[in-house]
Amino acid sequence: MTDLATKPGADEASNGGAVEPVGHTTAPTDDAPIGDGPDTPELAWAPVEPEPKKRRVWLWVGIGAGAAAAAIVATSLILIAPGTTVAGVSVGWMTPGAAADAIQQRLAETTVVLTGDGVEAEVTGADLGASVDAQQLAETAFAEHPMWNPGAWFAPPVDAPVTLDPEAATPALRGAAPDLYTDPVDAVLTFDPATASYAVTPAVPGVGIDIAAVQAALQSGFEAGSTSVEFGAVPTEVAADIPTPAAEATAGQLNGMLDSVGFYVGEERTVPVDRAVAASWLTVTAEPADGAFRITADPAAIQPLVDGLAAAVNRAPENALVITNRAGKVLREEAAGQSGRELGDAQSIASDFATQLATGDASFELPVTEVPVTTVSLARSIDVDLGDQRAYLYENGNVVDSYVISSGLSDTPTPTGNFTVNGYSRVQSMGCFEGAPYCVRDVPWVTWFAPDIGFHGANSLRSSLGYPQSHGCVNMWDDAAKFVYDWTAMGTEVSVHW
């Protein structure tokens, strides 16, 4: 018998070790001779073909589906939920940036159709300067309605307040419907030289289209998702940019400034300023954007008055005067005195005052240096010399004046000694009582210094003086008696001697 040959590389393990004969369709039986003869066929066993490897299709399908799911999840994290609208603009399935563009574009394209008597025109949101905070609205829509949250899908619309730019809206509406417009006239403020005051010419309202009503119509259409909305263009009053009350308030402020304008030292208006002069310093400018007026002042116009301030402000101190006795005791304040003052640095006064006037304050406090008061003491006394029949007036030890007198007769002598002034009588009747040896009425300028004894005028009593002839008083001519009356004080020392 010949050996059975197997084909190298056959995969026996895959068929349990069995092999198939090559060239035969059936295996040999017991009846089939096997030998070396020529009729004995030669057999060769060939291996069975290996089975093809299994394809793992499910794995590739799983990987594709996972990637798609991941992509969907990632996309849901940056998109706005389906069914979300901002006003009337659908922003579902959009990023916030795309949504913002869509919101602003829709508003810009929304048309307001103006209707009314003789009016038929259109203006767009873009013409009117319409705007919304599109970026913020889109970000709010995404924050409140993200696509990844199904519970936030198909939510109510997000409100989108619309604003109009008057600087764009008014020209656009006026161009579309010019017959509906009449310009308002602003209030005017002027200085009237006749009254030296500011006067007001009232504002006159105009006529036009109410921008607020147009804005409301555009808002309504935008929220409804309409691309156009009709608006009945009915003329309405248009207020002036500068209303009458604003002009009246400013006139009141300016006239109050003119009432008080000047350069002050403390509460004293040391250098008043003429109203017309102060008005010439001021410029009053209307500010339509603010509906008011602006006050400015010219430093160069103020400077000439500043140049003359020193002459008006500077002053020397006035000394205080007190009357004393010879021991220095104050008997009377003759003059309170007044401190002096000197103007300080005036270099910036004009510019500083101009700045202050612009705020509505017309009372400028001057920089001054005070020069203090000096008190002067006047020690006054009177010496009556009966031998000379004269009265000598002393001040600080020096004779300031002397007057001829007539003293008392020998039986009614003037008392000698040291006395002090103790009273005054402008007019006094003397000796006019029952039993008196004499009666003299209306004696003037009496300065009393001893009991029933004083200096007094004698013009109505005497034709001459210089010798004893009185009832004890010191007679003087009226003008001298008045001087003593005014010059002395309660407590002034009087010395009477021979």
Question: CA 91, 94, 96, 98 torsion: positive or negative?
Answer: negative
388 neighbors 364 (Cβ within 8 angstroms): no
Residue 454's H or E segment, with its range, is: strand 453-457
- Digitized pLDDT (tens) for each residue of the chain, 498 residues in all: 334 333 344 333 334 443 343 343 444 444 444 444 444 444 444 445 555 555 544 444 444 555 545 555 566 678 999 989 888 899 999 999 999 999 999 999 999 999 887 778 899 999 999 999 889 999 988 988 898 888 879 878 888 899 999 899 999 998 998 888 999 999 999 999 999 999 999 999 999 998 899 999 999 888 888 889 999 888 889 899 999 999 999 999 999 999 999 999 999 999 999 999 999 999 999 999 999 999 999 999 999 999 999 999 999 999 999 999 999 999 999 999 999 999 999 999 999 999 999 999 999 999 999 999 999 999 999 999 999 999 999 999 999 999 999 999 999 999 999 999 999 999 999 988 887 888 999 999 999 999 999 999 999 999 999 999 999 999 999 999 999 999 999 999 999 999
How far apart, in whole angstroms, are the C-alpha atoms of residue 16 and residue 253? Answer: 119
How far apart, in whole angstroms, are the C-alpha atoms of residue 59 and residue 408? Answer: 155
Measured at the alpha carbon of residue 364, what is the angle toward residues 363 and 368, in degrees to the nearest 5?
135
Identify the pLDDT of residue 39: 46
Identify the pLDDT of residue 358: 97
**Amino acid at position 275, single letter:** R
Identify the pLDDT of residue 13: 37
| Local structure of residue 466 (DSSP, 8 states) | S
Residue 149's nearest CA partner among 79, 252, 99 is 79
How many beta carbons lie within 10 A of that of residue 224, not counting itself?
Answer: 12
How far apart, in whole angstroms, are the C-alpha atoms of residue 221 and residue 215? Answer: 10
How far apart, in whole angstroms, are the C-alpha atoms of residue 155 and residue 91? Answer: 12
Identify the pLDDT of residue 135: 92
Rg (alpha carbons) of the chain, rounded to whole number: 61
Identify the pLDDT of residue 53: 54
By CB atoms closer than 10 A (0-12, 13-18, 19+), residue 385 is middle
323 neighbors 421 (Cβ within 8 angstroms): no
Name residue, tokens 């009117």.
128
Q: What is residue 335's three-state secondary structure? A: strand
Identify the pLDDT of residue 149: 87
Tokens of residue 246, six digits: 């604003």
Residue 173's nearest CA partner among 208, 223, 212 is 208
Which residues neighbour 96 within 8 Å (Cβ) at sequence distance 6 or greater? 80, 135, 138, 139, 141, 142
pTM of the model: 0.55
CA torsion, ordered 353, 355, 359, 365, to nearest 10 deg: -30
DSSP strand pairing (493-497 vs 417-420) = antiparallel
Identify the pLDDT of residue 260: 97
423 neighbors 413 (Cβ within 8 angstroms): no
DSSP strand pairing (375-385 vs 493-497) = parallel
How far apart, in whole angstroms, are the C-alpha atoms of residue 142 and residue 45? Answer: 75
